[in-house]
Amino acid sequence: MLRDWLERVANVVPVLARQRTNAARALLPPDDLRALQRERLTRLVRHARARSKFYRELYADLPPGEVELESLPVLTKDGMMAHFDDFVTDPRLKLAALSAHLQTVQGDERHLGEFRVMASSGSSGRSAVYVYDRAAWREVIAATLRMGAMGGLAPRLPRRTRIATVAAPNARHMTFRGGASIDVGLYRTCRLSVLSPIDELTRELDAYRPEFLFGYPSALARLADEQIAGRLHISPRSITTSSEVRTDDMTERIERAWGVRPFNCLGLTETGITAMDCREHQGLHLFEDLCLYEVVDAANRPVPSGAPGAKVLVTNLYNLVQPIIRFEVSDLVTVTDDPCPCGMTFRRIVALEGRSDDILELPAAKGTGTVRVFPFRLRSAVGKEPAVVEYQITQEDAGLDVRVVLARDAADETPARVERALAAALAEDGARVTLRVLPVEAIPREAGAGKLKLVRAARRG
């Protein structure tokens, strides 16, 4: 509709006008960046206390003036959702109405003509609702355009770059909505659902011939296999993955298929595009002018630069309508303060291993009790088997079920090799469980965003 297109133009044009300013923030000296963060955090906290009943009570004992981030309490998803109507700062926003809106949204529709509403995928078992007003959404657009520029995508007129996305199938999710809201004619865009059969995706991409390819790494790795086998014939000049853990074997398959080093980005519904690979491919630069990203241990204490954390606390510095302040996210990441050769001063995520919810508690091989097995140990074991094109490891009461989709020319002994590799990895970690390797035609993706969770731990609590 013309009205929706004009709305998108009204958001995109001012962001394009300040792209150079936005890009310059990635080069700010550390002291200047910290000053910008303090200014934005103080404004955010002041607004939250003034407009949100939840925060007014939570911060009742907080002294006025500039705030120290570490002095603020940690927020959980359950805590936010339990008090949602008091949490948001606009009294027109009610959880029941927002949830009803989510059931009907098809494109870039807005609640009350103004608010964009999304749901998290609920990969940790708990879904949540997030809302952005126009001002906040322009920052989402700015981050999306920054991601594109870092990945080699820039508007090119009159011949528009052909973009293909293979990602979330509907507008309830950030990966769909971010792209839809910048669809004003700068690019030619083909949006494909990650839930579509691989043969259908291959036909669509062959007909479209994208120059820029964006999508979930598990889906692009499957498409890479189709390219290598001669069933797909595209030549993207740039590729970016998002939304799932990208394993080393996925990266290798993508590079082998198209001769392109893929970029990677981190997006959160809480903060939009949060980090992006640069041309040096030495980690994902955090967009620290837009969000605060604290890597902490299980007790919420900061971990040193270069050390892995147990979780992350994120603060969205620009969304005033739903203040996300020290919000707990179960990402297992390692962040470094070391400088990057590209010159950007934003810190980098140098390891992104999934979520702490994916850590398995398995019976110890010796004695009683359990041992913790991190998901990357299992992913590494299965990823070494080239005949496995897709897999999922699920913890069940009696052990681990390993569903594998095999290449068409896979040898009969492939499942046995997978079982031996997993058993060896588990033994190194001191665990011993029953393994069942089950060849299947396809692995169902999660409802909603369509992500493929490679390792699924038993639900806790």
Q: What pLDDT shows up at residue 176?
A: 77
Q: Which residues contact 370 (CB under 8 A, 6 or more apart)?
A: 361, 362, 363, 364, 431
pLDDT at 203: 97
The Cα 184–Cα 309 span in angstroms is 40
Structure confidence by residue, pLDDT tens digits, 314-363: 999 999 999 999 999 999 999 999 999 999 999 999 998 888 778 888 98
**131-152, pLDDT tens digit by residue?**
999 999 999 989 988 999 999 8
Please, which pLDDT band fits residue 270 given cuts at 50, 70 and 90?
very high
Please give the average per-residue pLDDT across 367-374, as a whole number: 84
Please answer whether residues 146 and 138 qualify as being in contact, where contact means their C-beta atoms are separated by less than 8 angstroms: no
449 falls in which pLDDT band (50, 70, 90)? confident
Percentage of residues in the chain having pLDDT higher than 70: 95
Give the model confidence (pLDDT) of 73-91 as tens digits: 999 999 999 999 999 999 9
Task: Give the pLDDT band (50/70/90) at residue 2.
Answer: low
CATH H-level, domain 2-355: superfamily: ANL, N-terminal domain (3.40.50.12780)
With a cut of 60, say whether residue 123 has pLDDT above it: no
Q: Is the pLDDT of residue 429 over 50?
A: yes
Contact by Cβ (8 Å): 216, 167? yes
Top-level class of domain 359-456? alpha beta
Residue 194 near residue 445, CB atoms below 8 Å: yes
Region of poorest pLDDT, from 66-70, 227-231, 278-282 = 66-70
Domain positions in the chain are 2-355, 359-456
